[in-house]
Amino acid sequence: MSPQKKSDLLKQGTLELLILRLLRPGPLNGWDIMQRIQLVSGEVLSVTPGALYPALHRLEERRLISAVWGASENNRRAKFYGLTPAGRKQLEAERETWERFAGAVAAILRDA
Amino acid sequence: MLGRLWGRLRALLRRGEMDRELEEELRYHLERQTEQNLRDGMTPGEARRAALRAFGGVEQARELCREARGVWMIQDVWQDLRYGARKLRKSPGFTLVAVLTLALGIGANTAIFSVVNAVLLRPLPFDQPEQLVRVFGTSARRGNFSRPHSFLNFSDLRDQSRTFESMAAYTGATAALSGADAPEQIPGVIASGDIFRVLRVRPLLGRLLTREDERPGGSPAVVISHGLWRRRYGGDPQVVGRTIRLDGREREVVGVTPADFSFEFVTGAADFWMPIDPTASAFQQRGAIFLEAIGRLKPGVSVGEAGADLGVVSSRLEQQYQDSNTGVGVRLAPAQEELVGDVRPTLLVLLGAVGFVLLIACANVANLLLARSAGRHREIAVRSALGARRGRIVRQLLTESVLLAFAGGLLGLLFAVWGVKLLSAFVPENVPRFGETSMDLRVLGFTLAASVLTGLLFGIAPALQSSRFDFNEALKEGGRGGTEGRGRTRVRGLLIVTEVALSLVLLVGAGLLIKSFAKLRNTDPGFDASNTLTASLSLASVRYDTDEKIADFFRLLVERVRQLPGVESVGAVTPLPLSGNNYSFSFTVAGQPPLPPGQRQSASARFVTPDYFRAQRIPLRAGRAFTEQDKAGAPGAIIVNEAFARRYLPGVEPLGQRLSLGVNNIEGEVVGVVGDIRGGSLATTPAPEYYVPEAVAAFTDVTLVVRTTVDPASVAPALRQVVSEMDKDQPLYDVRTMDALLARSVARQRFSMALIGVFAVLAMLLSAVGIFSVMSSLVAQRSHEIGIRLALGAQPRDILSMVVRHGLWLTLVGVAVGLAAAGALTRLMSGMLYQVSATDPFIYGGITALLAAVALLACYVPARRATKVDPLTALRYE
């Protein structure tokens, strides 16, 4: 499966939820976020920059994350995104919903 | 919320910076990816290419990021507008044709809408106009048609109603204004005292009429209009208190109405307002019905409630005055509805017709766009390769169409201003409120909405069409512009079908109106209108105070006019046929059993001098005409028309029957029977009428009917001279030929016929242009195929018939759709037709043939061009 196809598995809302979760510990830039999604999910989930950056801009537009320009690890100028208080709240709300949903699905699969 | 808006605004202002930041952000990502690839052991070139590939479309990502932010919408629109404007500037020919076509369509619609707005939509120019209602009398015996009130009935309704804040009665009148200048007959209103209270009008100068003016013996007060004040008294601020002579009687000007006040419930502009005299004899009879009424409802009262309230009062009156009031009721109608009700259907039909013209204009512009989009294939392919999604391209193309429509709308506004001026030169004088037509905000809103909708309408099909294509196909076709896709050909065929169908409906509508107008004009009015001059005069009852004086004056006048050179015969009549006036009086036939109250017969009466029938050339069917001997004191003589004899004297010899009339206690014997005339309008069947010698009735208002051997209008100066010699204070008014009167009586029909005719011709021309352009470009696109056919031995004749058949097939489908639509839609205008069925087969057949012929012509020219294709040239392109 090519990376392009795999990213289809990540629906828009899911991708945004993932981004919010990844930003909880602290600000990251786009490149880092992409690496982390692949790292954390053990290469199961993959996302293309073509999907990631629009998602970041959407979140910024909705004031769930905010961006600052800072120095990256190799000392170059990069755009870092961090959670806003509204983003934090949104993350909690969505995570609950997601867990309830995932729990329910898991329970059904277990029983079946 | 506010902060967010501010953020957006700032973003909009620093969009250059945001673009750079986005650029930098994406570049950073690519660089990191490239570095990683280098670490994985790729060559620098490889590493960079792999990074781009992994990114998956940098341009698309950039577009999506932009779209993720609301501000980009605004920016996109702006960008699209500028791009669209640039594109349009680059093809001035296309732009000019499209803008002109649209301006014509939108302009015509704006013009008609501005009339509809003024006449139908705008509330009457009075305070709280929704409270104003017209109050009519009804008579059960006459099918509950509306009729005026007697003063006594009106005053009972006024005093006993509980739902009206105020109510007033009025009637139109004219009066001779004499003084230093030449005497002048001016129109005015005689009204009960509360009229200005009902209308809530404030005076410009002095005071207006009040209830105190409605006093026994009559108040000498008169209110004059702003127009008369300016025209006759030079706007003199001291006019209040001045004495003027109206109909020979001194009156005191007490006030002037404001400039913007007009009262269209009477015909003609009202220049004076006089209070009624409740003690005058006409105001003391319940049988004398001649007053119209208007009232203002109390706040919160509905028309229905007020109707019920007055219904109670009128049934009480019915009990109380059985003789005059049996079967007499009331009907209420909102004042505005009543004023403009009878022009509403005509205006709406016109609005519909002009809407069709706009739709056809849209179809033509859509056609142009489709033809153009064939050439824009590559541009669109390139744009979408550069990351524009389909929605984005459609949006851009639509922006371009709306831009085009706006240009058309702007120019259309100019056309509309000009069109309304043109209309006002032709509009019949009896269309109420037409004078209020102006470009207000609602009209501008209409134009704006029409432009946007038009832009979307003609833009959507071409936009969807051009943005749907196969990438590879488009790029492969390269510079050759490509052939028409099947889809596009289908859309263009559909446009032709639509245009033909719409034009057919309009043409059928116009055809029906033309035919019914021709029928109307060919209707025999029962008299000969050619070579006839008419002129009215009203004798002042102050100076002509006895029947003898009145009769002598008219006898002498007729005598003197007959002596004028070029005059063949002279008569006088009251009321003149087609003048809009109708006097109806009751009568009884001697020997017939008396009828119960409320069923008394009445018929239209005309009061005439002996030579009237000769002057109007109304044929005498039996008996004799009036002579000079038929005067007051002589045995009464009455003449009836054939309709009267049929209806009221069935089965008996009319001559010798004795009638007694409900006017001036006239009794007499039927001495003659004359032919029927259409006195009300050409479209209504002749009514039963009877004639009484003017010398017996001694009416002060008559109209002279002068039959001439020369141009009738040329006799007018001599006529004025005669009157002025007899009485220098006596004005002559409404001087016009009978032909002009006849034309005026059908002016409304002529107006709607002419307008719909113009729209229909416009529609037909636009459709012809549409068919022509579609067939031309089809031929151009198929020239390659045609070349092959010719090379393979096809005859030019075959090619000709192939192209013509294609065009005619589309036309015929359009005709079929149009015929069905016309059958359904023309029913809406059956009220405008006279002696023509809304499904007249001749009109339908004729119009179909006409349209087919026009379509044939529009196909023939391109088809001829197709036969001229040189096979060698066509094939060399391969």
* Separation of CA B532 from chain center: 31
Residue B22: what pLDDT? 84
Characterize the bridge pairing of strands B689-693 and B733-737.
unpaired
Instruction: Give how far A80 is from chain B: nearest CA, Å.
Output: 10
A 9-28 → B contacts, CB under 8 A: none
Closest CA to B513 of B346, B762, B357: B346
Q: Is B73 on the interface with A (CB under 8 A)?
A: no
Q: What separation, in Å, do the N-terminal and C-terminal C-alpha atoms of chain A show?
A: 29
String of b and e for B347-383 (b: at least 16 CB within 10 Å)?
A: bebbebbbbbbbbbbbbbbbbbbbbebbebbbebbeb
Contact B61 A77 (CB under 8 A): no
What phi and psi, each to the nearest 5 degrees, are found at residue B319? -65, -45
Per-residue pLDDT tens over the stretch B512-556: 999 999 999 899 999 999 999 999 988 877 788 888 889 899 999
DSSP string, B547-572: HHHHHHHHHHHHHHHHHSTTEEEEEE
CB atoms A53 and B54 under 8 Å: no
Q: Is A110 in the B-facing interface, judged by CB distances under 8 Å?
A: no
Instruction: Closest CB to B61: pick one of A31, A54, A78.
Output: A54
**pLDDT exceeds cutoff 50 at B750:** yes
- How far B377 CA sits from the closest chain A CA (Å)? 27
> CB-based contact (8 Å) between B589 and chain A?
no
**Residue B479 scores a pLDDT above 50:** no
pLDDT of residue B10: 61
pLDDT in tens, B784-814: 888 888 888 888 888 888 888 988 899 999 9
Cα B331 to Cα B138: distance, rounded to the nearest angstrom:
7
Interchain contact, A54 vs B57, CB within 8 Å = no
For the ranges B64-73, B112-121, B492-501, B861-870, the lowest mean pLDDT is seen at B64-73
Per DSSP, B124 falls in state P
Q: How far is A104 from chain B (nearest CA, A)?
A: 33
Q: Which residues of A touch B28 (CB under 8 A)?
A: 29-31, 72, 76-79
User: Tens digits of per-residue pLDDT, B717-738?
Assistant: 999 999 989 988 888 888 999 9
CA–CA dist B738, B708 (Å, integer): 12
Mean pLDDT (chain B, rounded): 87
B834/B821 Cα distance (integer angstroms): 21
Confidence of residue B847 (pLDDT cuts 50, 70, 90): very high
What mean pLDDT comes out for the span B257-267? 87
pLDDT of res. B818: 94
**Any bridge partners for residue B190, and if so which?**
B171, B274
**Cβ contacts (< 8 Å) between B56 and chain A: which residues?**
3-4, 48-51
Q: Which chain A residue is nearest to residue B29, measuring alpha carbons?
A: A31
Of B390, B389, B397, B393, residue with least CA distance to B369: B397
ipTM of this predicted structure: 0.82
Q: A60 CA to chain B: closest CA distance, Å?
A: 9
Q: Hey, are the CB atoms on A78 and B64 less than 8 Å from each other?
A: no
Q: What is the CA radius of gyration of chain B?
A: 38
- Given A50, A57, A79, which is nearest B68 (Cβ)? A57
Which among B1, B12, B29 is the top mutation candidate for probing chain A, defined by the most A β-carbons within 10 Å of its own β-carbon? Answer: B29
For residue B149, give the nearest of B289, B315, B316 by alpha carbon: B289
Q: Is A72 on the interface with B (CB under 8 A)?
A: yes
In whole angstroms, give the CA distance from residue B459 to residue B362: 9
CB contact under 8 A, B29 and A77: no
Share of chain B above pLDDT 90, in %: 44
Instruction: Assign B174 to helix, strand or coil.
Output: strand
Q: What is the pLDDT of residue B480?
A: 43
Phi first, then psi, for residue B415 (nearest 5°) are -55, -40
Q: How confident is the model at residue B471 (pLDDT cuts 50, 70, 90)?
A: low
Contact: A50, B61; criterion CB under 8 Å: yes
Q: Which residue of A has its CA nearest to B64?
A: A54
Write the DSSP assignment of B34-87 as a string of letters. Answer: HHHHHHTT--HHHHHHHHHHHHT-HHHHHHHHHHHSHHHHHHHHHHHHHHHHHH
Q: Tens digit of pLDDT for each residue in B65-112?
A: 877 776 666 667 788 888 888 888 888 888 999 999 999 999 999 999
**3-state class (DSSP) for residue B191:** strand
Calpha distance B441→B413 (Å, rounded): 13
Residue B728 structure tokens? 């220098």
- CB contacts, 8 Å: B25 with chain A: 30, 53, 78-79
* B288-302, B578-592, B704-718: least confident range: B578-592
Contact A76 B28 (CB under 8 A): yes
| Residues B447-456: b if buried by 16+ CB within 10 A, e if exposed | beebbeebbe
> Cβ–Cβ of B60/A50 closer than 8 Å?
yes
